[in-house]
């Protein structure tokens, strides 16, 4: 790809990104069926299984980038900027643009107060922790261990809470297509696990091509890697969350939609950044700690306050606020924070 034109690199990168997202979506369907077989509620599935599954583009991109950085085949600063920008950008997209679109389509969405404390406060706290750890311009292996440890601890808490409050009627599928293909015995579960494993290998291959293409574009154009990550890769990486959330709304399963959108904002930084930093460490671009993470924190707090004073209700007026917040974020990011270091 080094000798290709910018147009050729962009086309291959775009095709790889589309294949990555389609593969991730199919893997999501398989994982939903596996989770349902083990009797996990829709909200728990959204917060854990689906948040991990829909975050596969970010997770695999981090894993691939970290291995390439460690092997010396990807520039440390450029690779760090691309994956961190895509990760944080995806979170902001989910909190604002995607949440706004889902609410506009649904008309109204309701969050239980228990959900606000159990899920949204940890989401905001996760962003603050990433901001604090990255303030020195580096995510060290110790930082990665902290983030990954917090993810494991929070997942364990959710599992204990799930077993305590689980109800059979909560164990529903988000679509007829998934229900028809869901495993009904141990052999079919094993089959779906193997299919998902193969898909993950394919996703990693696609992520490698996307990263290589983006690095070439960054080096030739001088555009900040984190800006490309935030605006393009961040938006594309959030598509699995959008499709899953819309499927949940379409089938009147709000737990899937809310759990996926909020859960992904916890999974992305803790699992993806934490796991990647544990492998190779990352250089943190200044725009991420000066604009992206503070903005994500502020957005999460605003969303929480709106929900609290509206008794957990989000209507179309709130959706418009979220959409406006997203475009203001992108505008200022492009104008004033386009250089990485």
Contact of 41 with 248, CB cutoff 8 Å: no
Whether the model pTM is above 0.85: no
Q: What is the pLDDT of residue 228?
A: 67
Q: How much is the average pLDDT of 294-299?
A: 89
> What CA–CA distance (Å, rounded) separates 170 from 116?
19
- Non-local (6+) Cβ contacts of 146 within 8 A are 129, 133, 274
Q: What is the pLDDT of residue 115?
A: 73
Contact of 203 with 20, CB cutoff 8 Å: yes
Looking at the chain, which runs of residues are DSSP E strands?
109-110, 138-139, 282-283, 313-314
> What CA–CA distance (Å, rounded) separates 118 from 44?
11
Angle at Cα 58 formed by Cα 94 and Cα 292, nearest 5°?
55
Label residue 229 by pLDDT band (50, 70, 90): low
| Alpha helices in 111-232, H assignment, sequence order | 113-115, 121-134, 141-165, 176-181, 186-221, 225-228
Q: What is the pLDDT of residue 97?
A: 84
Q: Please report the domains of the chain, with CATH numbers, ordered by start residue.
A: 6-336 (1.20.1420.30)
Contact of 39 with 166, CB cutoff 8 Å: yes
Q: How much is the average pLDDT of 135-157?
A: 94
| Three-state secondary structure call for residue 138 | strand
């Amino acid at each position: 790809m080094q000798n290709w034109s910018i147009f050729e690199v962009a086309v291959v990168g775009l095709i790889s990104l589309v294949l990555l997202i389609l593969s991730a979506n199919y893997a999501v369907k398989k994982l939903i069926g596996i989770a349902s077989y083990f009797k996990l509620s829709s909200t728990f599935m959204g917060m854990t299984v689906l948040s991990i599954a829909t975050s596969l583009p970010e997770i695999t991109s981090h894993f691939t980038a970290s291995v390439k950085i460690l092997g010396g085949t990807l520039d440390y600063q450029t690779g760090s900027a691309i994956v961190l920008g895509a990760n944080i950008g995806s979170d902001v997209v989910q909190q604002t643009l995607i949440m706004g679109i889902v609410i506009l389509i649904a008309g109204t969405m309701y969050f239980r107060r228990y959900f606000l404390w159990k899920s949204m406060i940890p989401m905001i706290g996760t962003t603050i922790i990433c901001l604090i750890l990255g303030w020195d311009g580096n995510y060290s292996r110790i930082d990665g261990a902290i983030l990954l440890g917090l993810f494991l601890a929070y997942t364990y808490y959710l599992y204990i809470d799930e077993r305590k409050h689980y109800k059979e009627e909560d164990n529903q599928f988000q679509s007829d297509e998934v229900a028809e293909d869901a495993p009904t015995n141990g052999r079919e579960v094993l089959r779906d696990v193997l299919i998902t494993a193969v898909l993950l290998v394919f996703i990693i291959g696609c992520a490698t091509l996307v990263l290589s293409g983006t690095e070439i574009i960054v080096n030739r154009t001088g555009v900040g890697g984190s800006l490309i990550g935030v605006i393009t890769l961040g938006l594309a990486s959030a598509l699995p969350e959008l499709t899953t959330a819309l499927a949940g709304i379409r089938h009147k399963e709000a737990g899937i939609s809310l759990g996926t959108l909020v859960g992904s904002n916890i999974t992305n930084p803790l699992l993806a950044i934490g796991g990647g930093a544990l492998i190779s460490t990352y250089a943190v671009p200044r725009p991420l700690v000066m604009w992206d993470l503070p903005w994500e924190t502020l957005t999460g707090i605003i969303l929480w306050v709106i929900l609290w004073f509206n008794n957990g209700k989000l209507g179309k007026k709130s959706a418009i606020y979220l959409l406006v917040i997203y475009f203001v974020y992108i505008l200022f990011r492009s104008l004033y924070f386009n250089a990485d270091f």
